Amino acid sequence: MSFTRFIFSSILVCVLFSSNHQFNNPFIEVSKKANPCIVSIISEKEVVQKQFNPFFNDPFFEDFFPEFKRKGESLGSGVIIDNEGYIITNNHVIEGADKIRVILYNKNEYEASIIGVDPLSDLAIIQIEADEALSTVEMGNSDKLSVGEWVIAIGSPFGLHLNHTVTAGIVSATGRSSVMSKLTYEDFIQHDAAINPGNSGGALLNLDGELIGINTAIATDGYSRSNAGVGFAIPINQARRVVEDLLEDGTVSRGWLGVQIQNITEEISKALDLDSKKGALIVSIVPDSPAAESGLMEEDVIVKVDNKEIENDKDLIRAVSSKHPEDYTTFTVIRGDEKLRISVVLGERPDERNLASTSNTKTNTFDIIGLKVSGLNDRDGVKIISIENGSTAQQNGLRKDDVIVKIGRISITTVEQYNKIMEAKESGDVIMLKIERNGNQTIFAFSIQ
């Protein structure tokens, strides 16, 4: 090796070593800074268990093998958010617990009380009365996260013997929903830092050591409960809003608009002559709701809430639910050829409501999309009583007992009106139907074959 090459190689090794050392520093510093802010949470509850009956559960021997109670424990994680001992965690970590124990980084243990829970966001606040100074986490801004950004997870996977495990990965995606349930308010950060059972309620941090998420769930192949590189965390900006309500009132109040909405398909976009599929389509409006009183209308497409762009129905749900009742909110909507700004004073989210319908007379032949319909005794609309096999209607998801309340922008009142509109349709036309199904309304749009 020449002297020049030797010098060059030596310099390269030094540069790489220095570079690697510098790369390690943020992870080391975050671990030192954040670890004292993370706790292990043990939830204790009584579990009723039946003794094994060796006589194949013969009732005659039932009294010889009675039920008995045992103490069950589950493990999770939490994050200390202030020096009064408030700790944020997941609702499912402490749900149903008879006793909650919190173990600090220094191994000291305290019993915790529940301040408030919010099952819809899967968040909870508990509190310990510590006789020592507590380390508290620094809050970050999850709205500033970028896909590909490094993040660090800290929690207690699998057991106390692995508490304060530190793992690292990157942000894989943001705005993930329908992960745990379609009924919850989900806006998850997806990341690939290893998290496992026991990490629930633990911290997701950026490289400045700021809390940007609460680890909540993992996705697996269905056969394993362990990490597969797909983890989900509740963004701290969403959690902060819940925490404020829980600390103030012990419960969470959410804004309510009073509309049923759905995403915009390619067919609906064509039928409404829209420029894009962005936004949320209003399918129906609850009578006397904030939406009804403000002048919002069915078939309006909501594209913005205040200054937030709305990409889809989940975006709108999150935007409205993040607000409080009585909040003054501006909705930008597309109505026909117009773009309107409509101000709404939000209400408070009520319980779900159910609707029902009945039927009467029948038609004898299938129409152009493959339906037979009947009129309704006590209301407008027509009910689907039969669907032709292989028809356009069947291929596009219409079902028997669906109630058709609109075709395009025309409200349907009778079978005769329905048939007259259908008789004017031809193969290749795009048709849009508003359907009631099990108390909910949905819009279907498709080309007639």
Q: What is the pLDDT of residues 306-315, one digit of tens each?
A: 999 999 988 8
What is the rounded CA–CA span in Å between residue 213 and residue 224? 24
Residues 142 and 245 in one domain: yes
Domain termination site, one of 64, 94, 128: 128
Number of domain units in the chain: 4
pLDDT tens digit string along 316-340?
998 998 899 999 999 999 999 899 9
Structural contact between residues 267 and 445, judged by C-beta atoms closer than 8 angstroms: yes
Q: What's the confidence (pLDDT) of residue 9?
A: 59
Range of the domain at 312: 255-348
Can you give the CATH number for the domain in which 385 is found? 2.30.42.10
* CB neighbours of residue 337 within 10 Å: 6
What is the rounded CA–CA span in Å between residue 291 and residue 284? 10
Can you give the CATH number for the domain in which 181 is found? 2.40.10.10
Q: Residue 224: which pLDDT band, with cuts at 50, 70 and 90?
A: low
CA 88 to chain centre: 18
* CB neighbours of residue 392 within 10 Å: 20
3-state secondary structure of 299: coil
User: Is residue 230 one of the residues assigned to a domain?
Assistant: yes
> Hey, what are 376's tokens?
């309704």
> Hey, what are 81's tokens?
């958010």
Residues facing residue 203 across a β-bridge? 154, 214
What is the rounded CA–CA span in Å between residue 244 and residue 240? 6
> Hey, what are 181's tokens?
């349930």
Q: What's the confidence (pLDDT) of residue 54?
A: 54
User: Is residue 21 one of the residues assigned to a domain?
Assistant: no
What are the residue ranges of helices labelled H in 256-322? 266-271, 290-294, 313-321
Domain termination site, one of 249, 276, 309: 249
Entry pTM = 0.70
What is the rounded CA–CA span in Å between residue 235 and residue 239? 6
Residues 396 and 418 in one domain: yes
Structural contact between residues 285 and 258, judged by C-beta atoms closer than 8 angstroms: yes
User: Is residue 357 one of the residues assigned to a domain?
Assistant: no
What is the rounded CA–CA span in Å between residue 97 and residue 222? 27
Residues facing residue 153 across a β-bridge? 167, 204
Distances (CA, A) of 176 to 182, 185, 265, 365: 11, 11, 19, 45
User: Is residue 363 one of the residues assigned to a domain?
Assistant: no
User: Is residue 31 one of the residues assigned to a domain?
Assistant: no
| Residue that is written with structure tokens 């279907």 in the block | 444
Structural contact between residues 260 and 440, judged by C-beta atoms closer than 8 angstroms: yes
Active site residues: 92, 122, 200
| Residue that is written with structure tokens 């200390």 in the block | 80
pLDDT tens digit string along 253-294?
899 999 988 889 898 888 888 989 999 999 888 888 999 999
